[in-house]
Chain A
Amino acid sequence: MTDTTSTPVINLHDLQKRFGIGDAEIFALNGINLSIEKGEFVAIMGPSGCGKTTLLNIIGLLDQSYDGEYELDGQSVATISKRKRARIRSKQIGFVFQSFNLINRLSVIDNVALPLIYKGVTKTKRLVIASDILRNFHLNEREYYMPHQLSGGQTQRVAIARALVNDPSIILADEPTGNLDSRSSHIIMEELSDLHKRGNTIIMVTHNPRLTTYASRVITMLDGQIDTDTKTNNVNDVKSTPHIEEHKSAQSIKRKKKFFSRIKTRRRKK
């Protein structure tokens, strides 16, 4: 799946992130060297406080105060202006947060359409696209619900729908299943691995070792450094559990297939 001859999407060289000064100085990241190719599904594991989220924030261009080199698509991020960085976040990167981070005063569909605003899409178009995406997450009946009226699994699906609405090439997921039970977790992982199959780069932080089976590459971190980095071969051999089988009705699979073909035609048009 990975193409080693092209430049990696993400290339980190001796990345350091410090908190505090003087004696209280702590290295959240201490010399990370990492390159991620296009189309990889990377799972980052590690104990709390080892710098997983910090790494994800830096990759997602939210954090700018670090030492070392970060190249995104071959371009050094340090040279990109603030405005440009916002543009990249808007067009290339999709965030999925552990705590969902939906805006409570906006309805589900408005939340999903939010990233499109900053891409400059007109209102009607925004709602059409958002509605399309929500249908594929079986949430089309919940479009005008408020976030607090949804269950945890539904909320996270909305959050993923929001991350995908811009058609980003990189998806950053910070413990996307952290707040969910195992059944909902696997549904979410199903969605992510589907995205992976479509050629998106996914970087996911997780605590749950069982979920790493979906990934094509597993990185474990310890004290701000990369401990192990293993590539798994079961790239497309996504494990199915009884939960998932139970959940998926024939209808929903049909829908999903339709969705992917639509996405593919959209891509081809581009």
Chain B
Amino acid sequence: MRFLLLNHIQNAKQSLKSSRVRSTLTMLGITIGVASITAILALSGGASKVITNQIDALGGNIAVIRPGITSSTVDNVTQAQPSRDYATSTLTEKDITYITNTPHIQSVAPLMVLSGVIKADSTAPEGSLIVATTPELETISGLKMREGQFLDSTVDKNTVAVGLQLSINVFGTESSIGKLLYIKGEPFTVIGVLKRINNPINYNSVDFDNAAIINFESGKSLNQNVAQIQQIDVKADSVENLEQAVNDINKTIKSSHKGEKDFSVLVGEQIAQPTSQLFFMIAKVTTAVAAISLIVGGIGIMNIMLVTVAERTREIGIRKALGASNTDISCQFLIESLAISLGGCISGYLLGYIVAIAISKFLIFYPVFTWQIALTALIVSLTTGILFGLYPALSAARKDPIESLHRYE
């Protein structure tokens, strides 16, 4: 039995210590790579967690129907908010009727996001949305009123519920009930102000703090009497019946769409995906950058290890003469490069979270801490260490002992 591993670790520690600056600089390459990967994973995890939490909070019996098929990620990114204005929705008013008549469906709320000027004392800033929907949205999305009431079937057609921020923006006050709000030139009476939600990322893709919510019919009339449905929110009567309901919806809408599957019914985590798709796209690009920095860091390791091997050629010769096998020699150098990458991993992981927490101060969600992220960082850095340490280690082992002994340090 040979207890070489411990010895190699001690050896690596000592040799890294003796060239501290060099080791630290080499480690830095891996640190940056691991840090960016950690930060991205932590933040994107945080982003999708926000949405999943919302859905969970609403009871988990929510389904969302969106036009188009969500399998293609690029499509989903291009269907993000700005381009909705000119993308024709495949969902129709008929579909709403079908869905409403599906068994186990408790409530249905279509969402029609319009663009247009919102005006009162002052014009609402960009990013304010006009949302046309049905009263059921209140229960499905769990909207809470600060003052007044949400839309219901009894109120007048030209009434509006506004988000708190919008109310402040256009009226200069939080209590704007009874005031007139001009949407696309049409006057609407404010009947309710929503509680602040502070949650621009949600599965409705609507920042309700900044939205004017009007009746679906009014929305249609503002849009040349055409229903432009971006999304239909559906709530089943229980979690158990949700799957059955989703299947029924799929079937009925598909048959009414002449057998064409030009929509998707999303449940649970699927809902979160397309909403944060743009974010994930950015995350992917950043991951690619992180991968490149890891490769560069790896090349740094390889470079330094080759230098170390060259520096210690004589030592290799001595060790071989004293009974070290090729495996012993290659292990010694491999563990040294692993030590560098492991050091980079630990400092990168910490730095990644520092960066993620710093960034999250400007965002509305927090980075997540999961063992998967730690494991990913570990695997990624160790793989880099092995991959780029292997060649120097093998070249060290292959050195001829006699030639090595004649090399003077």
Stretch at the interface among A114-122, A207-215, A234-242: A114-122
Contacts of A87 in B (CB 8 A): 323, 325
With contacts A104-B409, A105-B14 known, is A115 near B323, CB below 8 A? yes
Cβ-defined contact, A57 with B4, below 8 A: no
Residue A263 CB within 8 A of the other chain: no
Stretch at the interface among A1-9, A90-98, A137-145, A195-203: A90-98
Residue A176 CB within 8 A of the other chain: no
Cβ-defined contact, A62 with B320, below 8 A: yes
Residue A82 CB within 8 A of the other chain: yes
Contact size class for B? 20 to 34
| Distance from B320 Cβ to chain A, minimum over Cβ atoms (Å) | 7
With contacts A114-B319, A118-B324 known, is A101 near B405, CB below 8 A? yes
> Nearest residue in A to B314 (C-beta to C-beta)?
A101
With contacts A104-B409, A120-B1 known, is A57 near B325, CB below 8 A? no
Contact of B3 among A90, A114, A120 (CB under 8 A): A120
> Nearest residue in B to A92 (C-beta to C-beta)?
B323
Contact of B323 among A63, A86, A97, A99 (CB under 8 A): A86
Q: Per-residue 0/1 for A130-141: is the Cβ within 8 Å of any B Cβ (1 yes, 0 no)?
A: 000000000000
Cβ-defined contact, B323 with A122, below 8 A: no
Residue A128 CB within 8 A of the other chain: no
Contact of B328 among A95, A118, A123 (CB under 8 A): A118
Contact of B4 among A63, A95, A117, A166 (CB under 8 A): A117
Residues of chain B in range 1-24 having any CB-CB distance to chain A below 8 Å: 1-4, 6-7, 10, 14-15, 18
Residue B199 CB within 8 A of the other chain: no
Contacts of B327 in A (CB 8 A): 83
> Nearest residue in B to A163 (C-beta to C-beta)?
B322
Contacts of A89 in B (CB 8 A): 320-323
Contacts of A102 in B (CB 8 A): 318
Residue B326 CB within 8 A of the other chain: yes
Residue B401 CB within 8 A of the other chain: yes
Residue B292 CB within 8 A of the other chain: no
Q: How many residues of chain A are within 8 Å of chain B by beta carbon?
A: 30
**CA of A114 to CA of B7, assembled, Å:** 10
Residue A60 CB within 8 A of the other chain: yes
Contact of A123 among B6, B317, B401, B409 (CB under 8 A): B6
Contacts of B324 in A (CB 8 A): 86, 90, 117-118
| Distance from B12 Cβ to chain A, minimum over Cβ atoms (Å) | 13
Cβ-defined contact, B321 with A95, below 8 A: yes
| Distance from A150 Cβ to chain B, minimum over Cβ atoms (Å) | 16
Cβ-defined contact, A60 with B321, below 8 A: yes
Cβ-defined contact, A63 with B402, below 8 A: yes
| Distance from A42 Cβ to chain B, minimum over Cβ atoms (Å) | 19
**CA of A60 to CA of B7, assembled, Å:** 25
Cβ-defined contact, A82 with B326, below 8 A: yes
Contacts of A60 in B (CB 8 A): 321
Contacts of B405 in A (CB 8 A): 62, 97, 101
Cβ-defined contact, A105 with B4, below 8 A: no
Cβ-defined contact, A118 with B325, below 8 A: yes
**CA of A269 to CA of B309, assembled, Å:** 41
**CA of A114 to CA of B405, assembled, Å:** 16
Residue B217 CB within 8 A of the other chain: no
> Nearest residue in A to B332 (C-beta to C-beta)?
A117
Contacts of B408 in A (CB 8 A): 99
Residue B315 CB within 8 A of the other chain: yes
With contacts A57-B402, A117-B4 known, is A103 near B325, CB below 8 A? no
**CA of A99 to CA of B6, assembled, Å:** 30
Cβ-defined contact, B401 with A62, below 8 A: yes
Residue A162 CB within 8 A of the other chain: yes
> Nearest residue in B to A105 (C-beta to C-beta)?
B18
> Nearest residue in B to A91 (C-beta to C-beta)?
B323
Contact of A119 among B18, B319, B321, B323 (CB under 8 A): B323
**CA of A134 to CA of B76, assembled, Å:** 75
| Distance from A215 Cβ to chain B, minimum over Cβ atoms (Å) | 23
| Distance from A102 Cβ to chain B, minimum over Cβ atoms (Å) | 8
Cβ-defined contact, B3 with A101, below 8 A: no
Cβ-defined contact, B18 with A122, below 8 A: no
Contact of A117 among B7, B317, B401 (CB under 8 A): B7
With contacts A57-B402, A122-B3 known, is A103 near B315, CB below 8 A? yes
Residues of chain B in range 317-345 having any CB-CB distance to chain A below 8 Å: 317-328
Given pairs A62-B402, A89-B323, A162-B322, 4 additional interface contacts (CB within 8 A): A62-B320, A101-B317, A101-B321, A118-B2
List 19 A-B residue pairs with CB atoms under 8 Å apart, sorted by A's residue number. A62-B321, A62-B405, A82-B325, A83-B325, A83-B327, A89-B320, A89-B321, A90-B323, A90-B324, A91-B323, A101-B314, A103-B318, A114-B322, A115-B322, A118-B319, A118-B324, A120-B1, A123-B6, A123-B10
Q: Which residues of B contact A (CB under 8 A)?
A: 1-4, 6-7, 10, 14-15, 18, 314-315, 317-328, 401-402, 405, 408-409
